[in-house]
Structure 1
Amino acid sequence: MIQWDDEIVSAIARRRSVIMIGSGVSRNSTNAAGKRPDTWVDFLNKASERAGNPRVVLELIQQRDYLTACEIIKNRLGVDVFIGLVQSEYQRPGYISADIHKHIYELDSSIVASPNFDLIYDTYATNASRGTLIKKDHTSDDLLSFVSGGETRLLLKTHGTADAAHNVIFTRRDYAEARTKYRLFYDLLKSLVLTHTFVFLGCGVDDPDIRLLFEDVQYAYGRMPLHYMTLPEGEVDEDILSVASLAMKVKFLKYSPDKGHEELTSSLSELVTLVESKRAQLAAEQKW
């Protein structure tokens, strides 16, 4: 089980956290036919087949240059076909939420963010909140109205969403264009990195958007809160983790990947209990 630091519990309890949920969380879900949403690599491999498996794309995927691989695939297929593939994989299958989504919602963080295109957590949280959840993405021009905390519960779709697939950030050009065209959004994310504790769940250390964002803040300001990322034991080389930890100021929390990463879900259930207890303590002592 993950041993949650007191700093994580306190940050979430005080609603000074951003819970960032990645594709590893979505992989806990299936649809009625038992299908799980593809990882980014799985999606690119299938899309590459549709594009004729060009050798350069296969090489780029092996080199983990996913942004360039996706750019070539999108150019070969055309925008409309590519958008159709995104929606066919991440929207139309009708994935059903899992216990892990329930636990994330129960943490009651004022801000949850996700680079996932799928609508799994979106749908669960919207239903559980009875429609009061606010959902925004990088194209939203009114974000400042919803990040101040209080009663607002905000879901940030940092790479866009399958139900507006024409705006998803998936290729190298998409990243470059978004950072220029939607600069306010990235400035806001940088502010959150400086003022909130990020807790990454089901994310990888090689997400280029997240990596660049945190490295920018770390080297520009020299100091920021310690952030946390859960990772399965043995998934990433320790030397790579050491470099990432220093560059992003992230502490890695390991758990066993056995039985479909069951330990992460159990650990999050325990975290909910710890956060609820901390909130009760803060309320009793009036130390908000």
Structure 2
Amino acid sequence: MSVSLSLFEKAILKELRNNNLSIFAGAGLSRGSGFVDWRGLLQDIAEELELDINKELDLVSVAQYHFNANGRQTINEAIVDEFQRTAERNENMNILSRLPIDTYWTTNYDSIIEDTLGDTGKIVDKKISQNQMKNYKPNRDVVVYKMHGDKEFPDEAVITRDDYEKYDSERALFTTQLKGELISKTFIFIGFSFEDPNLEQILSKIRIDLLGDSPKNHYCFFRKVNRLDERYKNSDGTIREEDYNYDKVKQDLKVKDLKRFGINSVLIDEYSDITNILKNIEKKFKVNKIFISGSAEEYGNYSEEEAKSLLHNLSKLLVSNSHHIISGFGLGVGSYVINGALEEIFRSKGKKINDFLTLRPFPQAVSGGKTLKELWTEYRKDMINESGVMILMFGNKVVDGQVVEANGMIEEYQIAREKDKYIIPIGSTGYAAKKIFNEVKGNLEEFWYLEDSLDILENEQDEQKIIFEINIIIEKIRRRV
């Protein structure tokens, strides 16, 4: 029996927040970057053997037959020719790379996973052979286990039946490590048909160790068998019901069989749906990350003490509700936000600073051939990308002796809209925040979550009422997404 999408999302969000999610990637993940799957890789090799690759179910044997007849070189060349070329990044891997996932497993030979993770600035520790298992890359953020080898070392790639039969002696530590993680972590199997004989063999060997009849829950995606697919249609458009029913029964049996390993199937209409599912998970996960945008040379209708107390107690409450605050250390705002967050973190036993507070002071010197303005824009985009919600307060600075609206806050608001973040401007704090509020309140179709809070956001100066209302807005967002 498959699991519902809502239960899947709930489970994955829980594991993300506990830093306990792993990815197991098959060929389907790389297809989004233009690479072929096993069948495509072996097509020319099968033709040399006078075999039709589309009729073959045992692809490992196809590779072995070619090796028997021609040796390894042609197989190696096929791996190099296909996977050495530069590939486009794909959206599914882009999303995964932005999430706190520190372990990836894959049977793919290409480098899409490690390259995409590197693009995000993460330090990747790649394991290709079991000899590398004992090594530890300093300051690593993520480990990528390449169970079947890598395009850079085609001689060592696992592809023929001989390779599979030698797996236990030459790559046993991969199996041991995977067993431990399947017991302790939750996996998403993505891009897998579960026809890989090595994975099936490994799962079968370690099933007894996966806590008996109650293994940890893992998840995979399957496209539902659809009777309207072209493959079930006759030339006159009628449906071959017998073929459809056969495949439907076979899929149902596969879904039930995977439960033996704790792998729960999520059935989708199209594989493209996976991208929307991952986007939604990312958005929900980041709702707990709140970027407080603000700067203040003066506080308008607020006294300095009132502004300080509002900023301090707002961030304190957010942390107490398990939100993660991101601050750019804006003048007259950032220090009070930080103090409030730290007070709550130190008050609560077990809370770690890095889990609830990210400080990102803006660079003050030109570097990398970019102007300071260009650096600040990149910096803003990076901070906002890490958040799900933005709270805007005050927003002024001094230019030529005059207090003016902070154009940096306006830019942050524009970036947040482009990145589809939830925006909460506290209009009563004035300046750029007021300007943004006036724009937002005229577009409640986009900012639906603010509709019942407009009066308080625009006019209220009572600290407790403002903080209470912000909490209501965030909870409304969390329930909706």
Normalising by the residue count of structure 2, what TM-score does the alignment of the two structures yield? 0.51
Q: Give yes or no for the alignment of 1:152 onto 2:138.
A: no
Aligned to 1:189: 178
Q: Give yes or no for the alignment of 1:114 onto 2:103.
A: no
Please report how far the alpha carbon of residue 160 of structure 1 lies from its aligned counterpart in structure 2 after TM superposition: 0.9
Aligned to 2:223: 232
Please report how far the alpha carbon of residue 143 of structure 1 lies from its aligned counterpart in structure 2 after TM superposition: 4.8
Higher relative contact order (CA 8 A, sep 6+): 1
Residue among 67, 72, 81 paired with 1:88: 81
| Aligned CA distance change for structure 1 residues 168 and 151 (closer, same or farther; 3 Å) | closer
Rounded to whole Å, the distance in 1 between the matches of 2:186 and 2:72 is 37
For structure 1, list consecutive stretches of 5 or more residues without a partner in the other structure. 30-35
- On the 8 A contact 2:255/2:264 being kept in 1, the answer is no
Aligned to 2:44: 46
Aligned to 1:273: 283
Q: Give yes or no for the alignment of 1:262 onto 2:266.
A: no
> In structure 1, the residue corresponding to 2:206 is in which secondary structure?
helix
Rounded to whole Å, the distance in 2 between the matches of 1:187 and 1:166 is 23
Q: Give yes or no for the alignment of 1:100 onto 2:113.
A: no
Q: Give yes or no for the alignment of 1:7 onto 2:11.
A: yes
TM-superposition CA deviations, 1:190-226 (whole Å, max 9, x none): 1111111111111112222222222222234414201
* Amino-acid identity (%): 17
Query: Which structure is larger by alpha-carbon Rg, 1 or 2?
Result: 2
Rounded to whole Å, the distance in 2 between the matches of 1:42 and 1:13 is 38
TM-superposition CA deviations, 1:221-242 (whole Å, max 9, x none): 4142011001222286333323
> In structure 2, the residue corresponding to 1:116 is in which secondary structure?
coil
RMSD of equivalent CA atoms: 2.7
> In structure 1, the residue corresponding to 2:153 is in which secondary structure?
helix
TM-superposition CA deviations, 1:91-115 (whole Å, max 9, x none): 2x31111211110101220101111
Rounded to whole Å, the distance in 2 between the matches of 1:143 and 1:272 is 33
Aligned to 1:76: 69
- On the 8 A contact 2:224/2:267 being kept in 1, the answer is yes
TM-superposition CA deviations, 1:92-140 (whole Å, max 9, x none): x31111211110101220101111111222222223226x111112434
Rounded to whole Å, the distance in 1 between the matches of 2:287 and 2:143 is 23
Aligned to 1:248: 261
Rounded to whole Å, the distance in 2 between the matches of 1:252 and 1:278 is 27
- On the 8 A contact 1:13/1:279 being kept in 2, the answer is no
Q: Give yes or no for the alignment of 1:26 onto 2:30.
A: yes
Please report how far the alpha carbon of residue 144 of structure 1 lies from its aligned counterpart in structure 2 after TM superposition: 7.2
| Aligned CA distance change for structure 1 residues 138 and 192 (closer, same or farther; 3 Å) | farther
Please list, as runs of the form range in 1=range in 2, the aligned pairs for 1:155-234 lying within 5 A after superposition: 155-220=144-209, 221-222=211-212, 223-234=214-225
Please report how far the alpha carbon of residue 145 of structure 1 lies from its aligned counterpart in structure 2 after TM superposition: 4.2
| Aligned CA distance change for structure 1 residues 143 and 250 (closer, same or farther; 3 Å) | farther
> In structure 1, the residue corresponding to 2:104 is in which secondary structure?
strand
Count of aligned pairs between the two proteins: 269
Q: Give the letter aligned to residue 111 of structure 1.
A: T
Rounded to whole Å, the distance in 1 between the matches of 2:286 and 2:191 is 22
Please report how far the alpha carbon of residue 63 of structure 1 lies from its aligned counterpart in structure 2 after TM superposition: 4.9
- On the 8 A contact 2:130/2:173 being kept in 1, the answer is no
Normalising by the residue count of structure 1, what TM-score does the alignment of the two structures yield? 0.83
TM-superposition CA deviations, 1:254-288 (whole Å, max 9, x none): 2221xxx3321111111112333467865668498
Rounded to whole Å, the distance in 2 between the matches of 1:200 and 1:142 is 22
Q: Which moved more, 1:242-251 or 1:153-162?
A: 242-251
Rounded to whole Å, the distance in 2 between the matches of 1:189 and 1:97 is 26
